[in-house]
């Protein structure tokens, strides 16, 4: 043991220590030879001698590991002593990311709607025509069902949803016409798909935020107030809003809401009162039950809010997002 400690004391590098470990504990070491010689001892002596050898090997291992630890500390201290690096200087901070503008707008909308008693409902992006078209009174000959407007996975069987209104269809069908579960107030944010020509204001995949309120005595004044509330939550109380007649297959009457921007009036919202036929499709009597529905193009809202095009919002150019973050 003393000879080992002497060699460890004279070691100058970690390589020296590795060589010492190989000499004293390796395959050609004395201790390995002693372990191999155990087979030649009488059976009643092997256990005692083997235990003594194991104790000695453990002592060797500890001595070598202690020497390694001591040498490592010594090398680090010498390097720090001779290094001009100031350990007290602040490090290079990691730049934090930020929510995507679409996510920010979506959260603003959800938070505003929660204050009005709405809850979030989600559904699949791969949808059946029943929920995406049929229940919403969109007939089979309607242009929206054509291949040039809809991404069909299997014609007339599976498609990528063209609006999140399909979530509302699923939610209403699950009520099974039970008026005791009314009123319901839901919002369905998410990604939708349209087979459209791409430009600064149109993409083939984008985000929508749709709301539905169904109950007794719901009027178009409730719809108008709800839309104004959300837009003012996003753009502030000074935003100028105007309503105009529109047509949608599943609302009657239908309206659109525009906001005034630096580029003029921009349509932001499509909305209306749920049509009597759609209410019947959902299993409710339109003479007793009414509802309102609205849909925001969340991507377009984010574009108007940040001042960049929808294409830039969905691009991968970090310069756009750094500019939005103020870097």
For the beta sheet containing 152-154, the strands, ordered from the edge strand earlier in sequence to the opposite edge, are: 126-127, 158-160, 152-154
Per residue, the 3-state secondary structure of 163-201, as one string, reads CCHHHHHHHHHHHCCCHHHCCEEEEEEEEEECCCCCECC
**pLDDT tens sequence across 147-205:** 558 899 998 899 999 999 999 999 999 999 999 999 999 999 999 998 877 665 677 88
Mean pLDDT of the chain: 86
Q: Is 213 helix (H, G, I), strand (E, B) or coil?
A: strand
Q: Are strands 184-193 and 119-120 parallel, antiparallel or unpaired?
A: parallel
What value does the mean pLDDT take over residues 29-57?
81
User: Is the pLDDT higher at 171 or at 68?
Assistant: 171
Residue 124, helix vs strand vs coil: coil
pLDDT tens digits for 202-230?
778 889 999 999 999 999 999 999 999 98
What pLDDT, on a 0 to 100 scale, did the predictor assign at position 199? 66
Give 72-131 pLDDT, tens digit per residue: 888 888 877 777 767 788 888 887 777 888 888 899 889 989 999 999 999 999 999 999
Q: Of 236, 237, 294, 233, whose CA–CA distance to 268 is shortest?
A: 294
The tens digit of pLDDT for each residue in 262-298 reads 888 888 899 999 999 999 999 999 999 999 999 988 8
Which band of pLDDT confidence, cut at 50, 70 and 90, is reported for residue 326?
low
- At residue 65, does pLDDT exceed 80? yes
- Are the beta carbons of 181 and 104 closer than 8 angstroms? no
CA-to-CA distance for 196 and 205, rounded, in angstroms? Answer: 9
Q: What is the pLDDT of residue 327?
A: 60
Beta strands in the chain (DSSP E): 119-120, 126-127, 152-154, 158-160, 184-193, 205-215, 241-248, 251-261, 264-274, 290-297
> What are the tens digits of pLDDT across the range 91-105?
888 877 778 888 888
Assess whether pLDDT exceeds 80 at residue 47: yes
Q: Evaluate whether 298 touches 105 at the Cβ level (below 8 Å).
A: yes
């Amino acid at each position: 043991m003393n000879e080992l400690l002497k060699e460890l004391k004279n070691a100058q590098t970690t390589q020296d220590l590795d060589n010492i470990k190989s000499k004293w504990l390796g395959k050609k070491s004395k201790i390995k030879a002693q372990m191999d010689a155990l087979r030649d001892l009488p059976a009643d002596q092997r256990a005692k001698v083997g235990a003594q050898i194991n104790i000695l090997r453990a002592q060797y291992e500890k001595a070598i590991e202690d020497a390694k630890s001591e040498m490592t500390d010594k090398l680090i201290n010498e390097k720090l002593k001779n290094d001009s690096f100031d350990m007290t200087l602040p490090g290079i901070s990691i730049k934090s990311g930020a929510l995507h503008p679409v996510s920010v707008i979506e959260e603003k909308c959800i938070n505003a709607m929660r204050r009005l008693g709405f809850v979030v409902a989600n559904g699949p992006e791969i949808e059946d025509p029943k929920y995406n078209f049929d229940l919403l009174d969109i007939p089979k000959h309607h242009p929206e069902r054509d291949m040039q407007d809809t991404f069909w996975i299997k014609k007339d069987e599976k498609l990528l949803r063209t609006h999140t209104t399909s979530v509302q269809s699923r939610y209403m069908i699950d009520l099974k016409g039970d008026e005791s579960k009314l009123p319901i107030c839901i919002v369905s944010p998410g990604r939708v798909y349209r087979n459209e020509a791409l430009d600064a204001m149109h993409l083939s995949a984008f985000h929508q935020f749709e709301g539905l309120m169904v109950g007794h005595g719901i009027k178009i004044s409730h719809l108008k107030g709800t839309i104004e509330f959300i837009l003012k939550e996003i753009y502030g109380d000074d935003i100028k809003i105007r309503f105009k007649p529109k047509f949608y297959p599943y609302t009657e009457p239908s309206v659109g809401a525009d906001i005034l921007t630096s580029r003029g009036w921009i349509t932001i919202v499509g909305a209306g009162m749920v049509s009597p036929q759609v209410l019947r499709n959902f299993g409710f009597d339109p003479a007793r039950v009414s509802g309102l529905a609205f849909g925001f193009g969340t991507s377009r809202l984010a574009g108007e809010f940040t001042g960049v095009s929808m294409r830039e919002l969905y691009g991968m150019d970090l310069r756009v997002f750094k500019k939005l973050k103020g870097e």
